[in-house]
Amino acid sequence: MTQALAPLKGAPKRHDREILALAVPAFGALVAEPLFVMADSAIVGHLGTPQLAGLGIAAALLTTAVSVFVFLAYATTAAVSRRVGAGDLPAAIRQGMDGIWLALLIGAAVVAFVLPTAPWLISLFGASDTVAPHAVTYLRISALGIPAMLMVLAATGVLRGLQDTRTPLYVAVGGFALNAGLNGVLVYGVGFGIAGSAWGTVIAQCAMAGVYLVVVVRGARKHGASLRPDATGIRACAQAGVPLLVRTLSLRAVLIIATAVAARLGDAEIAAHQILLSLWSLLAFALDAIAIAGQAIIGRYLGADDTEGAKAVCRRMVQWGIVSGIVLGALVIAARPLFIPLFTSDPAVEDALLPALLVVALSQPVSGIVFVLDGVLMGAGDGRYLAWAMLLTLAVFTPAALLIPTVGGLTMLWWAMTLMMLVRMATLQLRARSGRWLVAGATR
């Protein structure tokens, strides 16, 4: 066990410093990611409504395609941080390279699927004849950047595992600035239209992937780690990622079901629901930053065979999650007179939004616990349990949500969302208290 990880008096302060050092830059990087789509929307929006609508459809497909494979970041973070804790940096970087090679393979497969099926995928959204061509153009060009996007996920996981969240922040901010600049030049300066926006995104993503590769390759050469693809290592990364893929798909199913139910409640309700979902996602970024810190720190402690330290930092992060949730909930309530007019001036939407907004605010402490424990168990490599727990949550949420159109409105739907988070909290707390996630060693 390394001296740096040995239990000390005043450990909460030390844990606080560790959590802040990783969580604050991680939050900045998380916030920068959705700005890519926002910048594209702001620039393309001036081309016309069909172009903006096409961008919206294509961007939704791209976001789904990439977010489904977020396990490339999560699983890599856990595996790399364990080896860092064990003091084996060459093996840590080697593990990270396996994740990057897996990202390239998955990215190539996704591109091979999307390019020929783009018109069919767009048709699933019921796009009009004026919108569909723009959506297909954007999707086909942007799909070429998917391997780079997935490489960015995997490389981000490598650096998080190495306890570095500052570099991902710098790369994300630089990528956003480059994307915005290229969009302006290619869309209007060169006159490429929506295709220029897509090419700008591809170039920016490739540049980000290139920066990450330089950083990882330097680390590999410094520590004598091989850069060549290793079939066994890539297979191990894929196997570790499958449970997290199931977890992610189950969570996305919850969000899709909630949106489908809201659509059946009426136009005002679905509009209010989309506003709430945007807010809920924004709040999730703040809480997810603590979860990312948890992934990196917990993996490092377990890799160093320090299970007591892992338990101590888990308890501290749960406290952080609760306090953060209370603060965020209070901010939502206090800012609602300012927040609501930013999104709508329709009285019907406001009437549907306000009571449901209070439910979102009240549920934030629960969300804080959920996000933190999710990160802790990911950092411990406990993906199989997370998959089963999320499937159970989906099974509980689905019938409750489907009953909403007959028993209530939008507020009841968000109480069902709160039920979903309570089920997640119960399953995660059960696992955390059992101690079965505390598997020490360089590998799980």
Higher pLDDT, 274 or 358: 358
Does pLDDT of 425 surpass 60?
yes
Q: How far apart, in whole angstroms, are the C-alpha atoms of residue 202 and residue 192?
A: 14
Q: How far apart, in whole angstroms, are the C-alpha atoms of residue 49 and residue 131?
A: 8
Instruction: Yes or no: say if 95 and 80 are a contact pair by the CB < 8 Å rule.
Output: yes
**pLDDT value of position 42:** 74
* pTM of the model as a whole: 0.84
pLDDT confidence bin for 10, thresholds 50/70/90: low
Instruction: Yes or no: say if 83 and 95 are a contact pair by the CB < 8 Å rule.
Output: yes
Which tens digits make up the pLDDT trace of 31-83? 776 667 667 777 877 778 788 778 777 887 887 788 888 888 888 898 899 99
Using a 10 angstrom Cβ sphere, with 0-12 exposed, 13-18 middle and 19 or more buried, the burial of residue 88 is middle
Q: Largest alpha-carbon pair distance within the chain? A: 67
pLDDT confidence bin for 8, thresholds 50/70/90: very low
**pLDDT value of position 280:** 87
Question: Phi-psi region for residue 224, left (φ > 0), alpha (ψ -120 to 50) or beta?
Answer: left
Instruction: Yes or no: say if 32 and 178 are a contact pair by the CB < 8 Å rule.
Output: no
Does pLDDT of 11 surpass 80?
no
Which tens digits make up the pLDDT trace of 283-314? 888 888 888 988 899 999 999 999 998 999 99
Across 47-56, 215-224, 253-262, 326-335, least confident range = 47-56
**pLDDT value of position 430:** 96
Instruction: Yes or no: say if 76 and 295 are a contact pair by the CB < 8 Å rule.
Output: no
Q: How far apart, in whole angstroms, are the C-alpha atoms of residue 410 and residue 414?
A: 6
Does pLDDT of 148 surpass 70?
yes
Does pLDDT of 156 surpass 70?
yes
Averaged over 178-197, what is the pLDDT?
88
Alpha-carbon Rg of the chain, whole angstroms?
Answer: 22
Q: How far apart, in whole angstroms, are the C-alpha atoms of residue 61 and residue 180?
A: 21
400 closest CA partner among 229, 214, 257, 191? 257
Using a 10 angstrom Cβ sphere, with 0-12 exposed, 13-18 middle and 19 or more buried, the burial of residue 204 is buried
Q: What is the mean pLDDT of the chain?
A: 87
Side-chain-side CA neighbours of 100 within 13 Å: the count stands at 27
Enter the tokens of residue 112: 């091979």
Question: Phi-psi region for residue 87, left (φ > 0), alpha (ψ -120 to 50) or beta?
Answer: left
Does pLDDT of 134 surpass 50?
yes
Which string of DSSP letters, residue by residue, matches 254-290? HHHHHHHHHHHH-HHHHHHHHHHHHHHHHHHHHHHHH
CA angle, corner 329, sides to 387 and 160, nearest 5?
45
- For residue 105, report the phi and psi dihedrals to the nearest 5 degrees: -65, -45
Q: How far apart, in whole angstroms, are the C-alpha atoms of residue 50 and residue 134?
A: 7
Q: How far apart, in whole angstroms, are the C-alpha atoms of residue 438 and residue 444?
A: 9
Averaged over 163-175, what is the pLDDT?
90
Does pLDDT of 191 surpass 90?
no
Q: How far apart, in whole angstroms, are the C-alpha atoms of residue 279 and residue 272?
A: 11
**pLDDT value of position 1:** 36
Q: How far apart, in whole angstroms, are the C-alpha atoms of residue 226 and residue 259?
A: 46
pLDDT confidence bin for 441, thresholds 50/70/90: confident
Q: How far apart, in whole angstroms, are the C-alpha atoms of residue 422 and residue 89?
A: 39
Which tens digits make up the pLDDT trace of 329-381? 999 899 888 777 766 677 888 888 889 999 999 999 999 999 999 999 999 99
Does pLDDT of 408 surpass 50?
yes
